[in-house]
Chain A
Amino acid sequence: DTGVSQDPRHKITKRGQNVTFRCDPISEHNRLYWYRQTLGQGPEFLTYFQNEAQLEKSRLLSDRFSAERPKGSFSTLEIQRTEQGDSAMYLCASSSTPNGYTFGSGTRLTVV
Chain B
Amino acid sequence: ILNVEQSPQSLHVQEGDSTNFTCSFPSSNFYALHWYRWETAKSPEALFVMTLNGDEKKKGRISATLNTKEGYSYLYIKGSQPEDSATYLCALPNYGGSQGNLIFGKGTKLSVKP
Asked if A and B bind, the verdict is no
